[in-house]
């Protein structure tokens, strides 16, 4: 069995070897079948074609990607050439992104279109661009693959915990099993779309899953009436939330595997545009569904979108801070200004609020100065911050109080650092701008470290941990019971964390002011959210 000269040339014209990329085996064979159909050739079977491919592109490896029962074979080390016409083929591009979806769903997708945020700089400053927009987008997408984790697969999902609850009327165990299978396939397709950076397909993917039509193949979809009934069943709703936590955590780890690693601004902007669209896409797709399931899924999507915004902002800060940390004269100026700070006064003011061990604070102060003096790299600073978190939270390891202790540490860290920045401001320190940038980065990285420690301690994903704070307004009434100071304090802590986390960009820093007054058994709390220009963004009083 051998390829004709024309077929060999077709392979060489459309594919090339490349490290760190993969192509679904069935997708490549589909390309071949289409070519044979167009050229009126008799195709060989898939097994024979696989042998021929390996004879043309030496050194190809095969990987099985996906979870057990839902995985597909991929050729590792080959890709479609950026200038290949195959990049403009609708069904093949979509098949690569949606290997888990039924055929009728693939056919509903629109042709390749602009990926938000990824085509603004495709031609650089040149007035003329020789390639088509589709080719340029495909080329940039492939270029961005090196910055994401394309080896990631979706972890297993749990089974619904039905407990002793009886099934609702007209719902059977067969329906629940079918939902498990189809929802798993839907999530696998979502992961594939994101891994291929085809963000604009997500809206169509969600619309297709949540809005079946009478013409759909009933073996491959759940009729809308049945799906709505299933979503009203609490065990299914909670199961779906757990699955979403796993899915969106996997997507975060795919898109931002290392928050400190330099990545192109076009990729971070594309991710931020994607995050901005998510909640609207979900709301539109589920407009006919009960509010309970929309709120449940919306809370997880909101946490996912917020995480993407935070991590891309953190990454942007990290790149800006590298320049400061590598500048010897700036470091020397920072050290000189820091030595003028009245740390005794800072400790005196902060101790009343934070009640921290003075020896611990002094040790952190000295360690910070030494690390700064050594002109440590960003990675070395990251290690130092990680060690600080480990030391402070070590006494609470394995204790139910760990999450609360972690939140308290964040508040205290933020308070101390703001006091130091205040002192530098009053002294008109020459390095104030550098310190402000470093402070923003370290605060955000501390938040990142702590959320992961809490997730590890509670056995949850970071997305699940942050999902607790995704709807502050719905939490406030239940926490703010009159006369219950413990609940009030818990609400205040949550408010500070949530409001600090709720920033649109790192350029607009927000802070919260809290005023409480005890009037007998009544407690009044006003939470202010103020932007960097001093304008009041939100004010809420509960009593």
Return the structure tokens found at 366.
């000295």
Indicate the pLDDT class of residue 451, thresholds 50, 70 and 90.
very high
- Do 312 and 330 sit in the same domain of this protein? no
- Identify the bridge partners of residue 436 per DSSP, sorted by sequence position: none
What does the pLDDT average to over 438-460? 94
Residue 408 located in a structural domain: yes
Q: Per the structure, how many domains does the chain have?
A: 3
CA–CA separation, 25 vs 60, rounded Å? Answer: 11
DSSP per position, 305-324: HHHHHHHHHHHHHHHHHHHH
Q: Check residues 524 and 365 and name the one with the higher pLDDT.
A: 365
> Is residue 344 located within the same domain as residue 379?
yes
Note whether 31 and 85 are within 8 A (CB): no
406 lies in the same domain as 337:
yes
Residues 181 and 311 both lie in one domain:
yes
Name the residue among 91, 104, 95 with its Cα closest to residue 24: 95
* Co-location of 307 and 364 in the same domain: no
Indicate which CATH number applies to the domain containing 40.
1.10.10.10
The answer to whether 112 and 86 are in contact (CB under 8 A) is no
The answer on pLDDT for 542 being more than 50 is: no
Q: pTM value?
A: 0.66
- Does any domain span residue 518? no
Answer yes or no: is 185 within a domain.
yes
Residue 430 lies in a domain: yes
pLDDT score at 503: 38
C-alpha triplet 254, 25, 249: angle, nearest 5°: 15
308 shares a domain with 338 = no
Same domain, 203 and 285: yes
pLDDT digits (tens, 9 = 90+) for 220-277: 678 888 999 999 999 999 999 999 999 999 999 999 999 999 999 999 999 999 999 9
Quote the distance between the C-alpha of residue 487 and its chain's center: 31
Tell me if 273 is assigned to some domain.
Answer: yes
CA–CA distance, 362 with 372 (Å, rounded to integer): 15
**Contact call for residues 228 and 122 (beta carbons, < 8 A):** no
Which of residues 435, 470, 505 is at a domain's end? 470
Quickly count: other Cβ atoms within 10 Å of residue 370's Cβ: 11
Q: Is residue 452 part of a domain?
A: yes
In this structure, are 181 and 304 located in the same domain? yes
Do 397 and 338 sit in the same domain of this protein? yes
Q: How far apart are the first and last CA of the chain?
A: 81
State which of 316, 345, 363 marks the end of a domain. Answer: 316
Strands lying side by side in the sheet with 522-530: 511-519, 522-530, 536-542
Could you read off the pLDDT of 271-305 as tens digits, one per residue?
999 999 999 999 999 999 999 999 999 999 999 99
Q: How far apart are CA 48 and CA 424, in angstroms?
A: 72
Where does the pLDDT of residue 32 fall: very low under 50, low under 70, confident under 90, or very high at 90 and above? confident
Q: Is the pLDDT of residue 111 over 80?
A: no
Domain check: are 312 and 349 in the same one? no
Domain boundary among 61, 81, 101: 81
Quick one: 229 and 344 in the same domain? no
Decide if 102 is inside a domain: no
- Is residue 351 domain-shared with residue 370, that is, in the same domain? yes
Q: Is 110 part of any domain? A: no
Task: Name the residue range of residue 8's domain.
Answer: 1-81
pLDDT, average across residues 183-205: 91
């Amino acid at each position: 069995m051998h390829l004709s000269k024309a077929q060999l040339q077709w392979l060489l014209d459309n594919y090339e070897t490349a490290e760190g990329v993969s192509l679904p085996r069935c997708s490549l064979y589909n390309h071949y079948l289409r070519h044979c159909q167009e050229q009126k050739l008799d195709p060989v079977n898939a097994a024979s074609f696989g042998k021929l491919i390996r004879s043309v592109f030496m050194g190809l490896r095969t990987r099985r990607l996906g979870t057990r029962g839902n995985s597909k074979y991929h050729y590792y080390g080959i890709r479609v050439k950026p200038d290949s016409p195959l990049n403009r083929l609708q069904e093949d591009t979509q098949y690569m992104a949606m290997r888990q979806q039924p055929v009728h769903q693939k056919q509903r997708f629109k042709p390749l279109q602009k990926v938000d945020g990824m085509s603004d700089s495709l031609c650089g400053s040149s007035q003329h661009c020789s390639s088509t927009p589709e080719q340029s987008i495909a080329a940039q997408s492939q270029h961005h693959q090196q910055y994401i984790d394309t080896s990631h697969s979706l972890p297993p999902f749990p089974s619904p915990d039905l407990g002793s609850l009886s099934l609702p009327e007209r719902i059977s165990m067969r329906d629940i099993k079918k939902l498990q299978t189809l929802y798993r396939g839907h999530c696998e397709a979502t992961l594939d779309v994101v891994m291929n950076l085809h963000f604009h397909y997500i809206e169509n993917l969600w619309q297709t899953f949540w809005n079946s039509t009478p013409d759909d193949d009933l073996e491959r979809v759940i009729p809308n009436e049945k799906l709505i009934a299933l979503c009203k069943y609490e065990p299914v709703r909670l199961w779906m939330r757990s699955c979403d936590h796993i899915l969106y955590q996997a997507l975060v780890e795919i898109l931002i595997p290392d928050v400190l690693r330099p990545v192109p601004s076009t990729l971070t902007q594309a991710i931020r545009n994607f995050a901005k669209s998510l909640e609207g896409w979900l709301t539109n797709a589920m407009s006919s569904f009960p509010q309970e399931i929309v709120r449940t899924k919306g809370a997880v999507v909101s946490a996912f979108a917020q995480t993407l915004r935070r991590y891309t902002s953190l990454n942007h800060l990290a790149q800006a801070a590298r320049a400061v940390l590598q500048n010897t004269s700036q470091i020397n100026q920072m050290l000189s200004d820091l030595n003028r700070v009245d740390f005794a006064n800072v400790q005196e003011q902060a101790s009343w609020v934070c009640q921290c061990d003075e020896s611990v604070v002094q040790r952190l102060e000295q360690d910070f100065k030494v690390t700064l003096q050594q002109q440590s790299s960003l990675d070395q600073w990251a290690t130092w911050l990680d060690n600080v978190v480990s030391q402070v939270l070590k006494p609470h390891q394995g204790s139910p109080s760990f999450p609360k202790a972690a939140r308290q540490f964040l508040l205290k860290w933020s308070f101390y650092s703001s006091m130091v920045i205040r002192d530098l401001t009053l002294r008109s320190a020459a390095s104030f701008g550098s310190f402000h940038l470093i402070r923003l980065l370290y605060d955000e990285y501390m938040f990142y470290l702590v959320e992961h420690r809490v997730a590890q301690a509670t056995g949850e994903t970071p997305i699940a941990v942050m999902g607790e704070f995704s709807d502050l307004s719905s939490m406030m009434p239940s926490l703010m019971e009159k006369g219950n100071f413990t609940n009030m304090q818990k609400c205040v802590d949550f408010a500070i964390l949530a409001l600090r986390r709720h920033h649109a960009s790192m350029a607009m820093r927000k802070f919260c002011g809290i005023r409480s007054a005890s009037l007998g058994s009544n407690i009044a709390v006003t939470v202010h959210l103020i932007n960097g220009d001093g304008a009041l963004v939100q004010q809420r009083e509960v009593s």
